[in-house]
Structure 1
Amino acid sequence: MHDRLIPFDRILNFRDYGGWETPHGKITRGKLFRSASFHDATEADIAKLNTMDLRFLVDLRRPEERAHEPSKWSNESCRIIFNDEGGGGHALPPHLVALMQSELTPQSTRDYMLSLYREIPFDPRLVGLYRDWFAALGEGGAGVVHCAAGKDRTGIICALTLTALGVDEDAIFADYEFTNEAVDLEARMPRIQQRIEERLGRKLDSAALKPMLGVHVDYLREALNAIDAKYGSALNYIEQELGVGASALAKLRDNLSA
């Protein structure tokens, strides 16, 4: 899995999530990328991105996140897709609001993450961006999808992408869970906690914060279970909610399989 990581100075969790075997062939490497945000990118990071021939980028962040930490990268050959409707300014995003609870515990944080994962697949703004991601994939070329940390909103659309391409569930969950290693959560925990505490103006218990900073297979399972409950399967959701019908799915598999 570590060979999927693409090292940058200040862009975290940037990796190629192609290369998996499927019944339709092996997914091509160098076409599917996932990442955390580019707000802290160095000049060297920007130069490296410029060599990657990325044709589209889908930024899943909310308006307030994009305003608070604007991306430092753009390229005239890469279409940037985002949705800033319904917000702006520097209001706290919901996950930070959740950390303002007076009785914050590891269990309350975990419960919040599970509820978040149940909601993400049905958030209208994210559904629109997920549709944009699949539409851009159908047009061909390499693309990258990211949110703030590249783990939750990004983790769900990457899992759905691999599902659409026919990757087996064990591999999908392995790709998702690899985020914990990719960002070296244990080593980065003190710095991340300090930044969150500075923004919130309060001290946090690291044990209560940890369930929000990493990923857990139960979170992704919660999202997929919510999808199954409403649509019967993730493939039905991809077709009915994200607009990827049989012909579009076949074309996607042809374009991304070696």
Structure 2
Amino acid sequence: MAQSSANLNKLGQPERVVALDGTINFRDLGGYRNKKGQTTQWRRIYRAASLGNLTVSDRTLLADLDIINDIDLRSPSEQQSYPDQSWDSVRFISNPLYPTTGFNRMLNNHHVRKIFRRRREIPKLDNPIANIYQNVLMTKHSQQEFAQTFAVLLGMSSEQASVFHCAAGKDRTGMTAALILLALNIPDETIIQDYLLTNELYDYANDHQAPTNDDIQQAVDQMNTQVGEALYIQGVLATINDGFGGMTNYWREALGLSMGDLKQFQKMFLQ
């Protein structure tokens, strides 16, 4: 796989944040340690905000990083109004996470959880945003789109990478990242920290500075992962872990993927 100096620090180690001129919050999901002591592979799966304003140098960098799949989680209208900029050898994949019809009903339906007849009860969440996240997890359309993202990632070779994104790289992207990390057995606390990093990166953008790995680690060390916006992604984790009995069950029952797929996914993206 090609290695770009823009994604390496002075020690030759990968950076969490890929510094681009035309977008922010473009980052690598590598380097996270799971419950078995394995680590997610660097330079394989990236998450991002909008890719509609990439510069020529940005596109050159993404091609150098062997990113061959651009998975756009935005709605068709967003994609048409503000299309992604492409780069060499990339495949654009329209994968709108939210339903294109009945969206408001999904946001306002606090009874979605009741349609599931399960041995485990889907947890009731008090936070309204966490409730929306939960409804997304339990909506058939969104489950199909989550499964499509996993199918794209499973289709890569060992030398290739993919990026998935929405508009700000927070809600739709954050839920997708959480499911990916859950499938790789990453601890809940780490998943929450990854989710909250979006806020830190927007702060850096406002100050017109690019954060280093040290900056990111300092931000993580200061996080309060028990209150505020952390509750949003905690609702995702509670729904999967308590409501479905873990990611293995959600993978099989909600996403319709096989256990062989899960084992292959872990083999591909853990070391």
Q: What is the TM-score normalised by the length of structure 1? A: 0.72
Name the structure with the higher helix share: 1
Q: Closer, same or farther in 2 for the Cα pair 1:235/1:217, shift >3 Å?
A: farther
Question: 1:251 offset after TM fit, Å?
Answer: 1.2
Counterpart-to-counterpart distance in 1, 2:77 and 2:87 = 19
- Post-superposition Cα deviations, 1:59-80, rounded to whole Å, max 9, x if no partner, equal 11011211221112254x3222
Q: Closer, same or farther in 2 for the Cα pair 1:225/1:166, shift >3 Å?
A: closer
What are the residue-to-residue correspondences of 1:70-149 with 2, within 5 Å?
70-75=83-88, 77-83=89-95, 112-140=128-156, 141-149=160-168
CA contact (8 A) 1:24 1:166 kept: no
Provide the residue aligned with 2:22 in structure 1. 10
Identity over aligned residues, as a percent?
29
- With 131-140 and 113-122 compared, the bigger mean Cα shift is at 113-122
Provide the residue aligned with 1:167 in structure 2. 186
Provide the residue aligned with 1:221 in structure 2. 234
Provide the residue aligned with 2:114 in structure 1. none
CA contact (8 A) 1:83 1:125 kept: no
Among 64, 71, 78, which residue is 1:65 paired with? 78
Counterpart-to-counterpart distance in 2, 1:36 and 1:119 = 22
CA contact (8 A) 2:48 2:165 kept: yes
Q: Closer, same or farther in 2 for the Cα pair 1:123/1:185, shift >3 Å?
A: farther
What SS is found at the alignment partner of 1:30?
coil
Unpaired segments of 5 or more residues in structure 1?
Answer: 99-109, 189-214
Q: Closer, same or farther in 2 for the Cα pair 1:25/1:115, shift >3 Å?
A: closer
Unpaired segments of 5 or more residues in structure 2?
Answer: 1-13, 109-125, 208-227
Question: 1:148 offset after TM fit, Å?
Answer: 0.8
Q: What is the TM-score normalised by the length of structure 2? A: 0.69
Counterpart-to-counterpart distance in 2, 1:236 and 1:185 = 38
